[in-house]
Amino acid sequence: MIYTTGTVSTVSGSAIVSGTGTKWTVNNPAIRSGTIILIKNGNANFIYMVDRVNSDTELVISQPATFTVKNTSYSINLTEPNSYSDANNRMTAIASDTTYFLRAMDQWMMNNGVVTVELSNGQKVTLDSIKKMQGDIGNKADLSVIAEQTFRGIINASRVCAQQNDYKYMLGVRGGQAFLDYWDGKQWTGEVLHPQRPGMMMLVNDYGMNTSGNIEVVDFNNLKGFGWHNQPATTEAGKSLNHPTKRAGNLTVWRGAGQSSCIQHWMDYYTAEALSRTYYSYEDRWSRWYKTYGEQNTTVDPQGFIKKASPIVNINPDGTFTTNDESEGATVTRVAQGEYLIEGVLGFNSDAGWGGVDGGIEIPLDVNKQPLIWVDSKVMEDGSILVRTYHRTHPNAPEFARNDIDGYKDGDPIDIPDGRFISVRVQMPEQSIYNVRMREMEEAQKAEEERRKKEEEMKEQYGLGENDALL
């Protein structure tokens, strides 16, 4: 029986025969290894033996074709199933496959490095030899080993993680940015990004930089190294230890020229009051504490000049007013022309810079520094202040500077001039909003310090470390 369905194509030097319109795997009798195939090239038929059938449209002949043809006629000499020739073909195919298999196994198992084996269908496959794989396995990390393992080459990974129990420490790269991250058993926290420029990392104590904990019992004269220090609210602090105040705050120390002199800068946690002093190493002495003036402890008077102040009430012509932090809660009412009642206060503040208890009022001036009004005041029994303003003239001045106003003569009651204000420095009661807030903040700070001290004592009692927590 002869099979001639479809056409075939060959390429010179290749053992693969391609079919068009062929059904080589479903033909009955089947086309098997050892079957004779005739391929027409010109007027001649060339004889080849089928080595393997790969599919309905591809088979492999026993030796490469010696010519190239496309869609040419062919014929395959088939045999009847279960005949002697069929059995012979089957045995021949099995022997051929076995030969290819043994040859491939010999290459794979005996050669070194990477080997290329040819399958029975003519396909070539490149793979690592057994010897190479055994050598590679010996160089692999053992995931079951807890002991230290050494790697001589570069390990490429987007993330590397060290783990102990539920805690992890990760080194990774994300979006071109290297980072370190810490898993505390519940969440990732404390991420640190790696700088994208070369240099050396600065460590604690480098260049004299250091930090410390609470310093309530430390003499500030002994703190000359560059650092940041916390002072809690405590009665142990004070002038005997060269602290500027007993209030809670922060001390920053800056090293000076030659790394021997220094500047101490103190900042109050509650009032933002700032004080500074200098250590002169060549004289081995400290300067006194100098106060830094800012918005928290100064005010702008009616002439636009900065003046030591607090608490301050500024009164406008119509009785509207503004307060600062320390005078919050004070109120002003315009009770009549040129009369303003300040309530919620306890008279004037005793600061001598504002005239003491008998003064404390700043009034507006004209361009020639002459007062525009007279002012009188009276402290009532409840501490409120009645401020009266009167027209003020300057009869001895040139006409343009006399401050004459139609309908008013010198000493007549008059409101504060339009667009101007007067400033009154007042004394606030102990229960004022600001004073209560300050006491609450101090009490909260003291409570926190007591809790911290108790926690430290308990940690020391039970032998707990810095990172251990009390439950």
Which comes out higher in pLDDT, residue 393 or 456?
Answer: 393
φ, ψ for residue 192 (rounded to 5)? -125, 125
Q: What's the pLDDT at 7?
A: 97
Rounded Cα gap, residues 244 and 267, in angstroms:
10
Residue at a domain's end among 395, 411, 429: 429
Residue at a domain's end among 76, 93, 110: 93
Rounded Cα gap, residues 372 and 402, in angstroms:
10
Q: Is 446 helix (H, G, I), strand (E, B) or coil?
A: helix
Residue at a domain's end among 93, 123, 142: 93
Its pTM stands at 0.46
Domain check: are 317 and 286 in the same one?
Answer: no
On average, the pLDDT of the chain sits at 83
What's the domain range around 164? 159-193
Domain check: are 223 and 273 in the same one?
Answer: yes
Domain-located, residue 460:
no
Domain check: are 189 and 242 in the same one?
Answer: no
| Residue whose C-alpha is closest to residue 293's, from 239, 242, 353, 241 | 353
State the average pLDDT over residues 404-429.
95
CATH of the domain at 13: 2.40.30
Domain check: are 214 and 271 in the same one?
Answer: yes
- Cα 280 to the chain's mean position, in Å? 40
Domain total for the chain? 4
Domain check: are 305 and 424 in the same one?
Answer: yes
Domain check: are 25 and 74 in the same one?
Answer: yes
Domain check: are 304 and 394 in the same one?
Answer: yes
From residue 394, alpha-carbon distances to 131, 370, 374 in Å are 115, 8, 11
Domain check: are 8 and 89 in the same one?
Answer: yes
Instruction: Return the residue matching tokens 């993680």.
Output: 161
Domain-located, residue 415:
yes
pLDDT exceeds cutoff 90 at 368: yes
Domain check: are 266 and 309 in the same one?
Answer: no
Q: Which two tokens stand for residue 367?
A: 């361009």
Rounded Cα gap, residues 314 and 422, in angstroms:
6
Rounded Cα gap, residues 403 and 302, in angstroms:
17
Domain-located, residue 15:
yes
- Residue 252: Cβ within 10 Å count: 14
Domain-located, residue 130:
no
Domain check: are 317 and 414 in the same one?
Answer: yes
Q: What's the pLDDT at 351?
A: 66
Q: Exposed, middle or buried, 213 (CB in 10 Å: 0-12/13-18/19+)?
A: exposed
Give 258's pLDDT tier (boundaries 50, 70, 90).
low
Q: Where are the beta strands (DSSP E) in 349-432?
A: 361-362, 373-379, 385-391, 422-425
pLDDT exceeds cutoff 90 at 57: yes
Domain check: are 345 and 265 in the same one?
Answer: no
pLDDT exceeds cutoff 90 at 259: no
Query: Among 33-37, 174-178, 335-339, 464-468, which is the least confidently predicted range?
Result: 464-468
Domain-located, residue 359:
yes
Domain-located, residue 151:
no
Rounded Cα gap, residues 102 and 304, in angstroms:
105
The proportion of the chain whose per-residue pLDDT surpasses 90, expressed as a percent, equals: 37
Domain-located, residue 105:
no
State the average pLDDT over residues 342-348.
94
Domain-located, residue 128:
no
Domain check: are 189 and 227 in the same one?
Answer: no
